[in-house]
Amino acid sequence: MIAGIRKPAAPMLTAGLALLILIAIIAIAAPVLSGGRDPALVLPHERALAPGLAHPFGTDLLGRDLLARTLYGTRISLAVGLGVAFAATIAGTAIGMIAGYARILDGVLMRGIDGLMAIPPVLLAVTLMTVMRGSLVNVIAAIALAELPRVARLVRASVQAVRANLYVQAAIVAGARTPAILLRHILPNIAAVIVVQATFIGASAILLEAVLSFIGAGIPPTTPSWGNIMAEGRSLWQVKPHILVFPAIFLSLTVLGVNLVGDGLRNRLDPRGKAS
Amino acid sequence: MAGYAIRRLLAALPVAFCVAILVFGLLYLAPGDPAAIMAGDAASPADIEKLQATLGLDRPFVSRFAAWLMAIAHGDLGTSLFTGLPVATLIGQRLVPTGCLMLAAMTIAVCIGVPLGAGAAHKPGATADRIVMAGGVLGFSLPVFVVGYLLSYVFAYRLGWFAVQGFVSPRVSVPGFLRTILLPATSLALGQSALIARVTRAAMLDVLGQDYIRTARAKGLGELHVIAVHGLRNAAGPIVTVAGSSIAALLGGAVVTETVFSLPGLGRLTVDAVLRRDYPVIQGITLVCALIFVIVNLATDMICAALDPRVRR
C-alpha cells in the first residue's frame, strides 16, 4: 500500500467548527450586533449609500440598512441549511433503507429516485418554487426534495453493503423483525456516512437557497436573505459593488465552514478520501 | 459492446419516463387555469369552458398525460403563456449559447481538475497535496455568482480584457466568442474542477498502488509517462463518470452564470420564465435539461465501457 497517507486533517475541522459557531452567534445576536437597526426600514433619502459610520455596510437601493439585512440574513441561511439537512436526510434515509433492504420495492423506488436525480437540483427547486408560494418552509421543502435522491442512493448502497455482514444474517436467523434489523443492526453501522452526507447537503442547501432568492424564486424580498440582497444589487453591481460584497462574503464563509466540517468528519472516517 | 449499449439504453427508458411523470405532475399542480389565462380578461365563463374542452383540460390526469407525451414525441412542448410562441422554438433559440457554455466549462474543469488531482496523488500528504485538497474545499464552497461577479469586476470591468456581458457565436467571430465565453465558463467550471480534482486524486491513489505501476517504473519509464499513460488511463473510469454527472451542476449553474453575464441561453430563459410565472416554458426547460442529463450519462457509460472492457460484463 502507499506509505505516508495524510493524517486526519483536524485543523480544518476545528477551523470549520469555529466558523460555524461564529456564524451561529451572529444569527442569534443579529438584533444586538446590528445596533438595533431595522432590516426592513426604508429610508428613501439614504438610498444606495456606500459603507460609512451610520451604515457600516451601506444601504441598498431602497435605503435599507445592509448591516442589519446581512446579519438577519444569517438566520435564513442557517434555517435553510439545517432544515434541508434534516428533512432530506430523514426522508432519503427512509427511502434508501427500504430500497436497499426490500428487494421487491427496490426497482420502483430507485427508478423514481433516478428520475428525480436526472433533473438538475437548481431546476427542480426552481420549478417547485414557481408552483408554490415563496415562503421559508416551501423553500426548505423544495430544496429538500432536490437533495433527497443523493441521500437515498448513498443509504441504499450502504445498506446493501452492510446487510451481507454476518451480524445482520445472525439477527435474521435469530428471528428479529425487519424494523428492528433496520433500526438496531443496520442504521448504527451506516450512521457515520449519513452524518457526513447530511453536512454536505446542508452546505449545498445554503447555496441553493441563495441561488433561488437571487433569481427571484426563493424567499420574498421583504425577508432579508443573502440571495435576495444580492438580487437587489444586481442591476447596479459595477457602480455599487458594496451591496453584493457583504452578503457574498458571509455566504462564502458559511458554506466554507460547513464544507470544512463535512470534510474533516469524512477524513476521520475515511482517511484515504476514497468516498468522494 | 453493442449488447451493453442496448442494455444501458433500455435501462435509461424507465428513468426518462419517471422524469416525464414528474415534470407533468408539476405542470398539473401549477396554480391558475391555463385556459383562463389564454382566453384573456374579456372572456366569459362559457368561453373558458369551451377552451378548456378544446385544450383537453377537462379530461382526467392519465388521459392528459398520454396526450402530453404524444405531443412531446412530435416535438411539441406547449406554448409560452407570456410570448405565445411555441416552447420548443424558444428553447431551440437558446441552445447554442448554453451548449457552448457547457462545453467550455467542462473543458476548463477537466483541464484544471485532472492535472491537479493526479499531481496531488503523486505524493499523498505532501504540501502540494494539502494545497490541492484545501483549495478543493474552497473551490466548491465559493458560490457561482460570487466567482462570476469577482472575475467580471476584475477582468472585464476593471482591466477590460473580456466582455462584461453578451454572447458572440463562434461562427460569427472566434475572438469575440472567447471574449464573451471564457469568464462565465471559468466561474462555472471552478466548483466542478475541485470535484474532478478530488475524484482524480482518489482514483489515482488506488491505481498508483498497483503492481503494473511498479513494473512500469521498474522498466525505466519516465515518471510523467507512468502517471499520464499507465496511471490516468486506468483511473479514467471514475473521472469520466464524475465529469459526466457534473453536467447537472453545470446546467443548474448556468441559470446563475447566464444571469450574471447576461448570456442569452437556457438559464437566462429560465430566470425570465420564473419572473413571469411562465409554467410551460419552465416545464419545457426542465424536461429538456433532464433528457440532456440522461443522454450524457448514457454517453458516459459508453465511454467507460470503451475504456475498460470489464465494465461491459
Tens digits of per-residue pLDDT, B161-208? Answer: 998 888 888 888 888 888 889 999 999 999 999 999 999 998 998 888
Give me the residue spans of the domains in chain B: 93-312
- Mark yes or no for CB contact B164/A238 under 8 Å: yes
Q: Using CA atoms, how far apart are residues A106 and A99, in angstroms rounded to an integer?
A: 4
A274 pLDDT band, cuts 50/70/90, is very low
d(CA B196, CA B111): 10
- What crossing angle do the helices spanning B144-151 and B232-260 adopt, rounded to 10°? 70
Which of A130, A244, A260 comes nearest B279 by C-beta?
A130
- In angstroms, the CA A231 to CA A245 distance is 12
**pLDDT tops 70 at residue A7:** no
pLDDT at A77 (0 to 100): 93
Instruction: Write phi, then psi, for A65 (nearest 5 degrees).
Output: -70, 125
Region B132-139 average pLDDT = 88
| B22 contacts on A by Cβ (under 8 Å) | 115-116, 119
pLDDT on residue B194: 93
- The Cα–Cα gap between B205 and B11 comes to 32
Euclidean distance between CA atoms A118 and A35, whole angstroms: 46
Q: What is the amino acid identity at position B130?
A: R
Q: How far is CA B21 from CA A259, B16, B27, B61, B294, in A?
A: 34, 9, 10, 11, 15
Residues 6+ apart with CB under 8 A from A200: A258, A259, A262
How confident is the prediction for chain B on average, in pLDDT?
Answer: 87
CB contact under 8 Å between B282 and A9, yes or no, is no
Q: Which residues of A touch B91 (CB under 8 A)?
A: none
Residue B222 has pLDDT above 90, yes or no: no
The string of DSSP codes covering B147-189 is: HHHHHIIIIIIIS-SS-SS----TTT-HHHHHHHHHHHHHHHH
Provide the b/e sequence for B293-312 (b: ≥16 CB within 10 Å): bbebbbebbbbbbeeeeeee
pLDDT confidence bin for A275, thresholds 50/70/90:
very low
What whole-number distance in Å separates Cα of residue B97 and Cα of residue B168?
A: 8
Q: How many CA atoms lie within 13 A of B108 on its CB side?
A: 20
Residues B14 and B22 sit within 8 Å (Cβ to Cβ): no
Residue contact A252–B142, C-beta within 8 A: yes
Distance (Å, whole) CA A241 – CA A229: 12
Cα separation, B98 vs B91, in Å, equals 10
What is the CA angle A225-A63-B255, rounded to 5? Answer: 40
pLDDT in tens, A244-270: 899 999 999 999 999 999 988 888 876
> Locate cell 430544496: which residue?
A143
Q: What percent of chain B has pLDDT over 90?
A: 26
Number of Cβ within 10 Å of residue A184's Cβ equals 11
Helix A226-233 and helix A187-214, axial crossing angle in degrees, nearest 10: 20
| pLDDT number for residue B264 | 92
Sort B218 into a burial class: Cβ within 10 Å, 0-12 / 13-18 / 19+: exposed
Q: What is the pLDDT of residues B61-119, one digit of tens each?
A: 888 888 888 888 888 888 888 888 999 999 999 999 999 999 999 999 999 999 999 98
Q: What is B121-138 written as a DSSP string?
A: HHSTTSHHHHHHHHHHHH
pLDDT band at A276 (very low <50, low <70, confident <90, very high): very low
Using the predicted structure, report yes or no on whether residue B36 has a pLDDT greater than 50. Answer: yes
When CB atoms are compared, the residue of A119, A126, A234 closest to B19 is: A119
Q: How many Cβ atoms sit within 10 Å of the Cβ of residue B171? A: 8
pLDDT of residue A271 exceeding 70: no
Of B18, B201, B259, the CB nearest to A111: B18
In B, which residues are within 8 Å of A123 by CB distance? 251-252, 255, 270, 285-286, 289-290
**Range from A173-177, A204-208, A272-276, B135-139 that averages highest in pLDDT:** A204-208
Q: CB distance A12–B285 less than 8 Å?
A: no
Among A68-72, A89-93, A232-236, B127-131, where is mean pLDDT lowest?
A232-236
* pLDDT > 50? residue B256: yes
Task: Label residue A99 by pLDDT band (50, 70, 90).
Answer: very high
Residue-level pLDDT at B42: 74
Element housing A70 (H / E): helix A66-101
Instruction: Enumerate helices (H) and strands (E) in chain A, giving the number of each.
Output: 11, 0
pTM for the structure as a whole: 0.89
A115, A255, A256 member nearest B15 (Cβ)? A115
pLDDT band at A272 (very low <50, low <70, confident <90, very high): low
Measured CA to CA, the distance from residue B168 to residue B264 in angstroms comes to 10
- The string of pLDDT tens digits covering residues A32-43 is 888 878 888 888
Contact A203, B141 (CB under 8 A): yes
Percentage of chain A exceeding pLDDT 70: 94
Percentage helix, strand, coil for chain A under 3-state DSSP, each rounded to 5: 70, 0, 30
Put simply, whether A160 touches B (Cβ < 8 Å) is no
**3-state class of A193 per DSSP?**
helix
Q: Domains of chain A by range and CATH? A: 14-30+61-275 (1.10.3720.10)
Q: Are A89 and A198 in contact (CB under 8 A)?
A: yes
Distance of alpha carbon B184 from alpha carbon B168, whole angstroms: 13
Q: What is the fold of B93-312? A: MetI-like fold (1.10.3720)
A132 secondary structure, DSSP code = S
Asked if the model's pLDDT at residue B292 lies above 50, the reply is yes
SS3 content of chain B, % helix, strand, coil (to 5): 80, 0, 20
Q: What's the pLDDT tens digit per position in A10-23?
A: 788 899 999 999 99
Mean pLDDT, rounded, for A104-123:
89
